[in-house]
C-alpha cells in the first residue's frame, strides 16, 4: 500500500501557518482527486483544500482548531499502490516518526521547532520524483514530507543558497543540522539553533537538598554527544581492530625534532606523529576517509581530510577538527593541533571547527588507558584510538628489552570498509609509528 | 444612515443601464439593432466546448494552487464568456495584450494552457513569444498593458496596416480597477488623438480585489470613452454571443481606420481575486447567488438544448474531454522541471551585455561553491 502524506501548503504567498477549521472527510473515507477535504483558515483567507490524490484517508494528523505550520503533514492518504500520480513518491507509514509538536493557541504564532542536535538515526527517504525531466534540477514534489529529522550526513540537504552561505560562514556542516523548514529544508533559525546547541555551556548539576541523587539536565554538549553516539552506534555496523606497536623510534624522532631550531618553541607530542601516520595512511587508502549515504545510495569518498581530535573539556567531549589537514606540513599540523586543543580546553571552539570532520583520532592514552573501542562520529567511516605509551618488555633484535609500546584501536564502518582494508590501514599507521623514517622512504 | 453607508449599499453605477445582449440567461436568443452573430450549430457547439474547457482548466489550476503546486492563481471563473467571446472575435493578424487573468483568451489564441502555469508555479518567467502567438505576456502591473497596446496600435498606423479587411487591430484587456490607473487614462488619450486601432476591453467584474465598483466610478465605465473622444459600449459579459459580436465589430472598425473603442464587458468574478484572497470578507452571498443565475455556460447549454443542436451525449463528451484535458494539464504541471538558476540572465538583452554576463558568471560561481554539498 502506498501512503502519501499531504503537507499544509503555503496557501497565500508567504504564509507560515493555517488553522484547521473543519475536516470534510474522516479516516477511512474513500476520496476522489480534487474532492474538498478540509477547510483551512490562514491570515489571508479561509479556503477549502482539494485532495491531491484519490484513495482512502488513513490518518488525519490534526484535529479541528489546530494551528498547523506550513509544511507539516495534515492528512495521510492511501493511494493504493499505482494509483498515485506519477510525480508523487510513496512512503510507508511505519517509517514515520510521530508528530512531536504541540501547537499553541490560535492567538499566538505557531512555534517552530529549533532542534540543534543532529539525530541522523532516522533517515529521511527523499521523495524521488519519478518523472523524467530534461532540466538538471527537478523540483521535488511538495507532497510527502517526513517529520524533520536530520538527513544522513554527506547526503543532499535542502537549503536555500543564502542559508548555505551562512552555514559556510559559520562553518556548520549542513548535513549535521535538522531542517524544520518546508520539505525539511534548513532555515536560518535551524543554523542558529545548531550554533546555540554546541556553544551553550553545560548546565550546572541540580542537587536537591537531602537527596542522594544528583540530577543533571541532558543538554548542550552532553545531549549532542549522546545523540551522535546513539545515531552512529545503531546506524553504522562497527568493527574494531587492535594493533600493539613499538613506538620507541617515533619517540626518538620526536626528540630529534624538538632539537631543531624551527621546532624549538613548539609543543610536540606523540599524537602529532599519530596524526601524520593517519594522514599518510588515508593517502594510501582513500576509502578510509569516506561517508556512507543511505539517502543517495552512494559512498562519498573525500579527497580532503578534516582531521578531528577528540578533546575532553569541562563541558564534555568535543571533537574539533583541522580543516584540510592533509595539505599541512608537519609543522603546520603541530601548530594546528596545539591551537585546536588549547581552544577546546578554554571552551572557545567555534562551531565551524566542530562540524565537517572526516576522520577522528581519540587520544585515550592521556587518561592512562591502553586503548578502547571508539564509536564513529556520524558521517565518518573510521576512528582511531591512541592508547597510553608505556615502557614495556618487548622482543627487540632477539632480546627482551624495555621499549615504548602503545596499542592502537581502529573502529570502522563495516558497510564501507572490509576487514582487509581496515587491517591494511591500521598496519600502515603502525608501520609508520614503528619506524617513521623507513616508512616515509618506503612510501615515497 | 450616513452618507458613506448609503454609498456602500447603493447599486453599482449603471446597474440599471442596458447592455448589448444576444442571449439571455434563460438561453433565449434576442436581437439588437446594432449587433448580431450568425453562428451555425457547429460553431455554437464549439463555443460551448471552449467555455467548458477553460472553466475546467481554470478549476484544475485553482486546485493545484490549493495543493501547493502553484504559488498563486487568478481564476477566471464567471468571466468565461467575456474571454471566449472576445478571444474568438480576434482575427489571426490581431494582437492581444492580456492581464494575468486572460486564460480564456490565451486558450482561444491557441497557446498551450501550460504556459501560464509555469509562471505561477515559479519555474519560468511567463515567457512565450508574444509575436508568434499574437498574445503579449501576462502583465501583473495593473493597466500597464494598455500603454503597450496603444503603442503597438500606433505602430500599426505608422506601418500603414489599417484601412482594409486585412488591416490589423489590437485588443487591450484590463479590469474595472485598472480604469482608475493613470496608465489606462493616458492610453485612452493617446489612442484617441492618434486614432490608434485598439479596442479597450474592460472586464468589469465588479471588484478591484476587495474594492467595489462604486469606489472606482460615479458613471458607468463605458461612458468614460466619450470624454476621451471615442465610442464606448457595454456588453453583457456573461453572454458569449454578444461579447463576440461587440468585440468583432469594434476590432473591424479599428482595422478599417475608425479608431479605438472601449468595451465594458459587464460580468462578475465568481471566485476570489486570486487564491490569496477571501471574497466572503467583502461581498455578500446573495450577490453571488444573483450572478450564479446569469452563468455564462448554462445559458449556452440551454440554447443548444432549446434549439435541439446538442444532445446529452454531446454534453457528456465535452465534460469528459475537459476532464481529460485537466488531468493532462495536472500531470504536465507536476512534471515541469525547475529552471537552471542562471536562466534568469537569459533574454535580458537581445545581444547580451558584458554586465549581465559578468553577473551570470558571478552567480554561477556562487552556486557552484555549494556543489560539493550535494544539495539543491
User: What would the pLDDT profile of B298-357 be if each residue is shown by its tens digit?
Assistant: 999 999 999 999 999 999 999 999 999 999 999 999 999 998 888 888 888 888 899 999
Residue B1 falls inside a structural domain = no
Model pLDDT, residue A85: 45
Q: How many percent of chain B have pLDDT more than 90?
A: 85
DSSP label at residue B351:
T
Model pLDDT, residue A143: 42
Q: Which of B155, B169, B152 lies closest to B90 in space, CA to CA? A: B169
Residue A5 falls inside a structural domain = yes
How far, CA to CA in Å, does A421 sit from each of A272, A380, A381, A433? 23, 15, 12, 19
- State the nearest Cα–Cα gap between A260 and chain B, in angstroms: 40
Residue A254 falls inside a structural domain = yes
| pLDDT surpasses 80 at A316 | no
Handedness of CA A163, A166, A168, A174 (dihedral sign): negative
CATH code at position A66 = 2.40.50.100
Q: Which residues of B touch A165 (CB under 8 A)?
A: 366
Quick one: closest CA in A to B335, which residue?
A: A131
A422 touches chain B (CB under 8 A): no
The beta strand positions in chain B, using DSSP E, are 95-97, 170-175, 198-204, 207-208, 211-212, 232-236, 261-266
Q: Which of A202, A218, A139, A152 lies closest to A179 in space, CA to CA? A: A152
Model pLDDT, residue B148: 97
Quick one: closest CA in A to B63, which residue?
A: A50
Burial call A261-292: b when 16+ CB within 10 Å, e when fewer? eebeeeebbbbbbbbbbbbbbbeebebbbbbb
| pLDDT surpasses 80 at A84 | no
Which of 368-407 (A) contact B at CB < 8 A? none
Distance (Å, whole) CA A234 – CA A433: 32
Residue B5 falls inside a structural domain = no
Tell me, yes or no, whether B301 and B365 share the same domain.
no
A277 pLDDT band, cuts 50/70/90, is very high
Tell me, yes or no, whether A219 and A355 share the same domain.
no
Tell me, yes or no, whether A275 and A421 share the same domain.
yes
Tell me, yes or no, whether B238 and B345 share the same domain.
no
Q: What is the mean pLDDT of residues B215-236?
A: 96
Distance (Å, whole) CA A111 – CA B102: 40
Residue B6 falls inside a structural domain = no
Residue A355 falls inside a structural domain = yes
Q: Which of A69, A59, A57 lies closest to A29 in space, CA to CA? A: A57
Tell me, yes or no, whether B178 and B159 share the same domain.
yes
**Which residues make beta-bridge pairs with B212?**
B207
Tell me, yes or no, whether B347 and B329 share the same domain.
no
pLDDT: is A235 or B38 the higher one? Answer: B38
Model pLDDT, residue B104: 98
CATH code at position B287 = 3.40.50.970
Sheet holding B170-175, edge to edge: B95-97, B170-175, B198-204, B261-266, B232-236
| pLDDT surpasses 90 at A178 | no
Q: How many percent of chain A have pLDDT more than 70?
A: 79
Model pLDDT, residue A118: 44
Tell me, yes or no, whether A293 and A358 share the same domain.
yes
Model pLDDT, residue B34: 95
Residue A23 falls inside a structural domain = yes
The residues, any chain, with a CB within 8 Å of residue A159's CB and separated by 6 or more, are A167, A174, A179, A185, A186, A187, B375
Q: Which of A92-106, A275-289, A351-365 has the lowest mean pLDDT?
A: A92-106
Count of structural domains, chain A: 3
Residue A421 falls inside a structural domain = yes
Tell me, yes or no, whether B183 and B208 share the same domain.
yes
A117 pLDDT band, cuts 50/70/90, is very low
Cβ(B331)–Cβ(A87) below 8 Å: yes
Q: What is the mean pLDDT of residues B256-283?
A: 94
| pLDDT surpasses 80 at A104 | no
Within 10 angstroms of residue A409's Cβ, the number of other Cβ atoms is 21
Q: What is the mean pLDDT of residues B204-220?
A: 94
Tell me, yes or no, whether A384 and A271 share the same domain.
yes
- State the nearest Cα–Cα gap between A252 and chain B, in angstroms: 41
- State the nearest Cα–Cα gap between B143 and chain A, in angstroms: 22
Distance (Å, whole) CA B267 – CA B221: 13
DSSP label at residue A92:
-
| pLDDT surpasses 80 at B31 | yes
B10 pLDDT band, cuts 50/70/90, is low
| pLDDT surpasses 90 at A242 | yes
Mutate to test the interface with A, among B56, B62, B75, B276 (most CBs of A within 10 A): B276
How far, CA to CA in Å, does A279 sit from each of A239, A252, A285, A330, A360? 21, 21, 10, 11, 11
Model pLDDT, residue B341: 86
Q: Give pTM, 2 decimals.
A: 0.60
A112 pLDDT band, cuts 50/70/90, is very low
| pLDDT surpasses 90 at B181 | yes
Catalytic residue among B121, B269, B299, B301: B269
Cβ(B139)–Cβ(B88) below 8 Å: no
Nearest by CB to residue B367, choosing from A47, A48, A161, is A161
Cβ(B201)–Cβ(B263) below 8 Å: yes
| pLDDT surpasses 60 at A123 | no
Residue B110 falls inside a structural domain = yes
Cβ(A247)–Cβ(A270) below 8 Å: yes
State which residues form the domain around A37: 1-108
Count of structural domains, chain B: 2
Burial call A158-193: b when 16+ CB within 10 Å, e when fewer? bbeeebbebbbeeebbbbbbbbbbbbbbbbeebbeb
CATH code at position A174 = 4.10.320.10
Catalytic residue among B45, B224, B273, B299: B273
Backbone angles phi, psi at A238, to 5 degrees: -90, 140
Tell me, yes or no, whether B235 and B352 share the same domain.
no
Distance (Å, whole) CA A412 – CA A237: 8
Distance (Å, whole) CA B234 – CA B239: 12
3-state secondary structure of B221: helix
Name the most confidently modeled range: A63-77, A142-156, B191-205. Answer: B191-205
Q: What is the residue whose three cell numbers read 479516516?
A: A27
Backbone angles phi, psi at B314, to 5 degrees: -60, -50
Distance (Å, whole) CA B230 – CA B315: 41
Model pLDDT, residue B16: 65
Model pLDDT, residue B30: 95
**Which residues make beta-bridge pairs with A5?**
A76
Q: What is the residue whose three cell numbers read 510507508?
A: A92
- Which residues of A are known to be catalytic? 414
The residues, any chain, with a CB within 8 Å of residue B19's CB and separated by 6 or more, are B234, B235, B236, B242, B264, B266
Q: Which residues of B touch A159 (CB under 8 A)?
A: 375
pLDDT: is A259 or B7 the higher one? Answer: A259
B376 is a catalytic site residue: no
Q: Which of B149-163, B286-300, B354-368 has the lowest mean pLDDT?
A: B354-368
Tell me, yes or no, whether A12 and A101 share the same domain.
yes
Complex-level ipTM beyond the 0.95 threshold? no
Quick one: closest CA in B to A303, which residue?
A: B372
Model pLDDT, residue A129: 42
Among A51, A85, A108, residue at a domain's last position: A108
- State the nearest Cα–Cα gap between A415 and chain B, in angstroms: 21
Model pLDDT, residue B306: 94
Task: Give the model confidence (pLDDT) of A337-368 as tens digits.
Answer: 988 888 887 777 777 787 889 999 998 888 88
Task: Give the model confidence (pLDDT) of A194-238 as tens digits.
Answer: 776 655 444 555 666 677 787 777 776 677 778 878 888 888 889
Backbone angles phi, psi at B202, to 5 degrees: -95, 115
Tell me, yes or no, whether B110 and B183 share the same domain.
yes
Tell me, yes or no, whether B282 and B367 share the same domain.
no
Task: Give the model confidence (pLDDT) of B76-128 as tens digits.
Answer: 999 999 999 999 999 999 999 999 999 999 999 999 999 999 999 999 877 78
DSSP label at residue A14:
S
Tell me, yes or no, whether A278 and A381 share the same domain.
yes
Distance (Å, whole) CA B92 – CA B81: 20
Cβ(A118)–Cβ(A224) below 8 Å: yes
How far, CA to CA in Å, does A153 sit from each of A378, A407, B61, B73? 7, 30, 38, 38
Distance (Å, whole) CA B105 – CA B169: 15
How many angstroms from the chain centroid is the CA of residue A24?
41
Model pLDDT, residue B373: 63
Q: Which of A23, A128, A136 lies closest to A84 in space, CA to CA? A: A128
| pLDDT surpasses 50 at A71 | yes
A134 pLDDT band, cuts 50/70/90, is very low
Cβ(B106)–Cβ(B98) below 8 Å: yes
Model pLDDT, residue B152: 98
Size of interface A-B (CB pairs under 8 A): 103
Model pLDDT, residue A204: 58
- Whether residues A50 and B370 touch (CB distance < 8 A) is answered with no
Tell me, yes or no, whether A356 and A434 share the same domain.
yes
B3 pLDDT band, cuts 50/70/90, is very low
Backbone angles phi, psi at B129, to 5 degrees: -80, 110
Q: Which residues of B touch A12 (CB under 8 A)?
A: 72, 275-276
Tell me, yes or no, whether B112 and B69 share the same domain.
yes
Nearest by CB to residue A174, choosing from B63, B335, B373, is B373
- Whether residues A49 and B67 touch (CB distance < 8 A) is answered with yes
CATH code at position A416 = 3.30.559.10
Q: What is the mean pLDDT of residues B348-375?
A: 84
Residue B259 falls inside a structural domain = yes
Residue A132 falls inside a structural domain = no
Tell me, yes or no, whether A180 and A297 share the same domain.
no
Tell me, yes or no, whether A23 and A117 share the same domain.
no
3-state secondary structure of A314: coil
Tell me, yes or no, whether B358 and B256 share the same domain.
no
Tell me, yes or no, whether B171 and B250 share the same domain.
yes
Tell me, yes or no, whether A435 and A348 share the same domain.
yes
Model pLDDT, residue B270: 96
Q: Which of B246, B224, B234 lies closest to B179 in space, CA to CA? A: B224
Three cell numbers written together for B320: 469528459
Q: What is the mean pLDDT of chain A?
A: 79
Quick one: closest CA in A to B366, which residue?
A: A161
Distance (Å, whole) CA A352 – CA B365: 22
Q: Which of B240, B86, B112 lies closest to B169 in space, CA to CA? A: B86
Tell me, yes or no, whether B363 and B215 share the same domain.
no
Cβ(B93)–Cβ(B76) below 8 Å: no
Q: Which residues of A touch B67 (CB under 8 A)?
A: 6, 9, 49-50, 52, 142
State which residues form the domain around B364: 341-373
Tell me, yes or no, whether A96 and A161 share the same domain.
no
Tell me, yes or no, whether A223 and A356 share the same domain.
no
Distance (Å, whole) CA B178 – CA B241: 25
Amino acid at each position: 500500500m502506498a501512503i502519501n502524506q499531504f503537507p499544509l501548503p503555503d496557501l497565500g504567498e508567504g504564509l507560515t501557518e493555517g488553522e484547521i477549521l473543519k475536516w470534510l472527510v474522516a479516516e477511512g473515507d474513500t476520496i476522489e482527486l480534487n474532492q474538498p477535504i478540509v477547510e483551512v483558515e490562514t491570515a489571508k483567507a479561509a479556503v477549502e483544500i482539494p485532495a491531491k490524490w484519490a484513495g482512502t484517508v488513513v490518518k488525519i494528523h490534526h484535529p479541528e482548531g489546530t494551528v498547523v505550520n506550513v509544511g507539516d503533514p495534515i492528512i495521510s492518504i492511501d493511494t493504493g499502490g499505482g494509483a498515485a500520480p506519477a510525480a508523487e513518491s510513496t512512503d510507508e507509514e511505519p517509517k514515520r516518526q510521530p508528530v512531536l509538536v504541540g501547537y499553541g493557541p490560535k492567538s499566538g504564532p505557531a512555534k517552530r521547532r529549533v532542534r540543534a542536535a543532529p539525530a541522523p538515526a532516522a533517515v529521511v527517504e527523499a521523495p524521488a520524483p519519478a518523472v523524467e525531466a530534461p532540466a538538471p534540477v527537478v523540483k521535488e514534489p511538495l507532497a510527502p514530507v517526513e517529520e524533520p529529522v536530520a538527513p544522513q550526513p554527506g547526503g543532499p540537504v535542502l537549503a536555500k543558497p543564502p542559508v548555505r552561505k551562512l552555514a559556510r560562514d559559520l562553518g556548520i556542516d549542513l548535513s549535521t543540522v535538522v531542517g524544520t523548514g518546508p520539505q525539511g529544508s534548513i532555515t536560518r533559525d535551524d543554523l542558529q539553533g545548531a550554533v546555540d546547541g554546541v556553544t551553550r555551556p553545560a548546565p550546572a548539576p541540580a542537587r536537591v537538598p537531602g537527596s542522594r541523587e544528583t540530577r543533571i539536565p541532558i543538554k548542550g554538549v552532553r545531549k549532542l554527544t549522546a545523540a551522535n553516539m546513539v545515531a552512529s552506534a545503531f546506524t553504522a555496523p562497527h568493527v574494531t581492530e587492535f594493533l600493539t606497536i613499538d613506538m620507541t623510534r617515533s619517540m626518538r624522532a620526536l626528540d630529534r625534532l624538538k632539537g631543531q631550531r624551527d621546532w624549538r618553541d613548539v609543543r610536540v607530542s606523540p599524537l602529532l606523529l599519530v596524526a601524520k601516520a593517519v594522514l599518510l595512511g588515508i593517502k594510501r587508502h582513500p576509502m578510509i576517509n569516506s561517508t556512507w549515504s543511505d539517502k543517495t545510495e552512494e559512498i562519498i569518498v573525500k579527497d580532503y581530510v578534516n582531521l578531528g581530535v577528540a578533546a575532553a573539556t569541562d563541558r564534555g567531549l568535543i571533537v574539533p577538527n583541522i580543516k584540510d589537514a592533509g595539505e599541512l606540513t608537519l609543522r603546520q599540523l603541530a601548530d594546528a593541533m596545539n591551537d585546536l586543543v588549547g581552544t577546546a580546553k578554554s571552551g572557545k571552539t567555534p562551531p565551524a571547527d566542530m562540524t565537517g570532520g572526516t576522520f577522528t583520532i581519540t587520544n585515550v592514552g592521556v587518561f592512562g588507558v591502553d586503548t578502547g573501542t571508539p564509536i564513529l562520529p556520524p558521517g565518518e567511516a573510521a576512528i582511531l584510538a591512541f592508547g597510553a605509551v608505556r615502557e614495556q618488555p618487548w622482543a627487540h633484535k632477539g632480546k627482551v628489552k624495555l621499549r615504548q609500546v602503545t596499542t592502537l584501536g581502529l573502529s570502522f564502518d563495516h558497510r564501507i570498509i572490509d576487514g582487509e582494508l581496515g587491517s591494511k590501514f591500521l598496519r600502515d599507521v603502525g608501520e609508520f609509528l614503528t619506524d617513521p623514517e623507513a616508512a616515509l622512504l618506503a612510501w615515497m | 444612515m450616513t452618507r458613506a453607508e448609503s454609498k456602500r449599499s447603493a447599486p453599482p453605477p449603471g446597474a440599471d443601464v442596458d447592455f448589448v445582449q444576444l442571449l439571455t440567461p434563460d438561453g433565449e436568443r434576442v436581437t439588437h439593432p446594432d449587433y448580431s452573430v450568425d453562428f451555425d450549430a457547429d460553431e455554437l457547439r464549439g463555443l460551448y466546448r471552449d467555455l467548458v474547457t477553460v472553466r475546467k482548466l481554470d478549476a484544475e489550476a485553482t486546485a493545484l494552487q490549493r495543493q501547493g503546486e502553484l504559488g498563486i492563481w487568478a481564476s477566471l471563473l464567471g468571466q468565461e464568456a467575456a474571454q471566449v467571446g472576445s478571444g474568438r472575435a480576434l482575427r489571426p493578424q490581431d494582437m492581444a495584450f492580456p492581464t494575468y487573468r486572460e486564460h480564456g483568451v490565451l486558450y482561444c489564441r491557441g497557446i498551450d494552457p501550460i504556459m501560464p502555469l509555469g509562471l505561477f508555479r515559479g519555474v519560468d518567467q511567463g515567457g512565450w513569444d508574444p509575436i508568434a502567438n499574437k498574445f503579449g505576456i501576462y502583465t501583473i502591473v495593473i493597466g500597464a498593458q494598455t500603454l503597450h497596446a496603444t503603442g503597438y496600435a500606433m505602430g500599426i498606423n505608422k506601418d500603414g496596416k489599417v484601412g482594409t479587411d486585412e488591416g490589423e487591430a489590437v485588443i487591450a484587456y484590463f479590469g474595472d480597477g485598472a480604469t482608475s490607473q493613470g496608465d489606462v487614462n493616458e492610453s485612452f488619450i493617446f489612442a484617441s488623438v492618434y486614432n490608434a486601432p485598439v479596442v479597450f476591453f474592460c472586464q468589469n467584474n465588479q471588484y478591484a480585489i476587495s474594492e467595489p465598483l462604486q469606489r472606482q466610478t460615479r458613471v458607468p465605465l463605458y461612458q468614460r470613452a466619450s470624454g476621451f473622444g471615442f465610442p464606448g459600449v457595454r456588453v453583457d459579459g456573461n453572454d458569449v454571443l454578444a461579447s463576440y459580436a461587440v468585440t468583432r465589430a469594434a476590432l473591424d472598425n479599428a482595422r478599417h481606420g475608425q479608431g479605438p473603442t472601449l468595451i465594458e464587458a459587464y460580468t462578475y468574478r465568481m471566485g476570489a481575486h486570486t487564491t490569496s484572497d477571501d471574497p466572503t470578507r467583502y461581498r455578500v452571498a446573495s450577490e453571488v447567488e444573483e450572478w450564479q443565475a446569469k452563468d455564462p455556460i448554462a445559458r449556452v447549454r440551454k440554447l443548444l438544448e432549446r434549439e435541439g443542436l446538442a444532445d446529452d451525449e454531446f454534453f457528456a463528451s465535452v465534460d469528459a474531454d475537459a476532464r481529460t484535458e485537466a488531468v493532462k494539464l495536472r500531470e504536465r504541471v507536476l512534471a515541469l522541471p525547475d529552471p537552471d538558476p542562471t536562466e534568469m540572465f537569459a533574454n535580458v538583452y537581445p545581444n547580451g551585455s558584458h554586465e549581465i554576463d559578468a553577473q551570470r558568471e558571478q552567480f554561477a560561481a556562487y552556486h557552484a561553491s555549494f556543489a560539493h554539498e550535494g544539495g539543491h
